[in-house]
Amino acid sequence: MAPTSETLTAERILEATEEVLRRHGPAKATVVDVARALGVSHGSVYRHFRTKAALREAVTKRWLDRTSGELSGIVTGDTAPEARLRDWLAALFAAKRRKAGEDPELFATYMVLTDEAGTAVGDHITDLTAQLARIIQSGVETGSFTTPDPQASARAVFQATGRFHDPCYAREWEEPGAETDFEAVVELTVRGLRSAEPTP
Amino acid sequence: MAPTSETLTAERILEATEEVLRRHGPAKATVVDVARALGVSHGSVYRHFRTKAALREAVTKRWLDRTSGELSGIVTGDTAPEARLRDWLAALFAAKRRKAGEDPELFATYMVLTDEAGTAVGDHITDLTAQLARIIQSGVETGSFTTPDPQASARAVFQATGRFHDPCYAREWEEPGAETDFEAVVELTVRGLRSAEPTP
């Protein structure tokens, strides 16, 4: 049990919430469990998160933000845009695969939460697509990519590679051919961005 | 109730099975229900399909084959390979969307069945990928596509467009932007096939 003398921050509450979710599962975890784990009253928790739904959404957002945070460093890297794009897609696949593989119960829990979360997933996809768009934009500037609309291309690349980051494919990620499949799809999309305009 | 005088063919049994599944749902539908709908003994059904699992797998295969059958005409068409590829992907999206939208209960039923089916889904994907590979191969022959391995490219195109045919995305297919998203992903993959080798 955490010492009550520590300041009760939103971050501490979210940490405890994740632990409670891991232990009790999404159906049973309550705000009272979270308060108990922190050694505080449930009123103290509600002062930071006004409803149970708000708390669940915040912990989901925190979980998703961990991935976007990891990836953002690649966007601003100084390698060539095409290499950055490949690295970014590989890092996204690796992060999702790690989340699904290392802690399957917590992953399953978050699958339930992302399903009920209001805007957390949509915001996460917007974040990731914006990162992709920045990489594609820098490729357009250096002349390695050709696209009239980096934002739209980013969305297409994100969707075309969905098999390697969308949780509905989590079962496939440990299949023997997954890495080869990933590389082939990345190759196809990178070539699609690189391609010149259609010959008439 | 069907007249018992008609010859009891596998096709008639499968038709009746689909109707029983539609009415009772996958959890409750039994071989006895199928036999009753046909006005025959369940022994007669078992003469064609030795187990309930075999019957369920056969009806699933029939449902999936309907889509591959519709698409196969496009493969052998005489338009340019790139146009055929676009038509084929659009027809696949349309077929899946129609199945999901027009008869959601039956679609949900088949989602349960495809999950339990032994090789039906794998075979279906192999069929579809082979059709795609033939179109890509003919594009390589006419010089419109560049790929060392049409089979591998077909697999990549199939996976890259998964959002528009994989049932796990069925909910997204009626969203306002679905058609635009589809076109952007098709454009990206077609350009990826068209693209020349990377400049060094």
SS3 string, chain B, reads: CCCCCCCCCHHHHHHHHHHHHHHHHHHHCCHHHHHHHHCCCHHHHHHHCCCHHHHHHHHHHHHHHHHHHHHHHHHCCCCCHHHHHHHHHHHHHHHHHHHHHHCHHHHHHHHHHHHHCCCHHHHHHHHHHHHHHHHHHHHHHHCCCCCCCHHHHHHHHHHHCHHHCCHHHHHHHHCCCHHHHHHHHHHHHHHHHHCCCCCC
Report yes or no on A200 lying in a domain.
no
* Structure confidence at residue B7 (pLDDT): 87
Which pLDDT does position A5 carry in this prediction?
A: 53
- The whole-angstrom separation of Cα B179 and Cα B149 is 29
Q: Which residues in chain A are closer than 8 Å to B181, comparing Cβ atoms?
A: 155-156, 159
pLDDT for position B118: 77
- Looking at residue B139, its pLDDT comes to 96
Whether the CB of B171 is below 8 Å from some CB of chain A: the reply is no
Residues A149 and A88 occupy one common structural domain: yes
Encode pLDDT of A166-180 as tens digits.
999 999 999 999 999
Distance separating alpha carbons of residues B80 and B14, to the nearest angstrom: 38
- The CATH number given to whatever domain includes residue B102 is 1.10.357.10
In degrees, rounded to 5, the angle at the alpha carbon of residue B15 between the alpha carbons of residues B14 and B19 is 110
Task: Kindly tell me if the per-residue pLDDT of B197 is higher than 60.
Answer: no
Percentage of the residues of chain A whose pLDDT score is greater than 90: 80
pLDDT band at A200 (very low <50, low <70, confident <90, very high): very low
Burial of A125 (0-12, 13-18, 19+ CB in 10 A): middle
Direct distance between the N- and C-terminal alpha carbons of chain A, in angstroms, rounded to an integer: 70
| Nearest chain B CA: its distance from A161 CA (Å) | 6
ipTM metric: 0.89
Whole-number Å distance between alpha carbons of B71 and B94? 11
- Residues B125-179: pLDDT tens digits? 999 999 999 999 999 999 999 999 999 999 999 999 999 999 999 999 999 999 9
Per-residue pLDDT band at A195 (split at 50, 70, 90): low
Pair A46, A68 in one domain: no
- Tell me, yes or no, whether B41 and B123 share the same domain: no
Number of domains in chain B: 2
Using the Cβ of B181 and the Cβ atoms of chain A, whether some distance falls under 8 Å is answered with yes
Structural domain containing residue B96 = 59-194
Same domain, yes or no: A80 and A137:
yes
pLDDT tens readout for residues A118-160: 789 999 999 999 999 999 999 999 999 999 999 999 999 999 9
- Say if residue B200's pLDDT is above 50: no
Q: What does the alpha-carbon distance between residue A158 and residue A133 come to, in Å, rounded to a whole number?
A: 10
Confidence of residue A11 (pLDDT cuts 50, 70, 90): very high
Least CA distance to A161: which residue of chain B? B160
The pLDDT tens digits of the residues spanning A31-66 come to 999 999 999 999 999 999 999 999 999 999 999 999
Let me know whether A79 and A110 are in one domain: yes
Cβ atoms B59, B142 nearer than 8 A: no
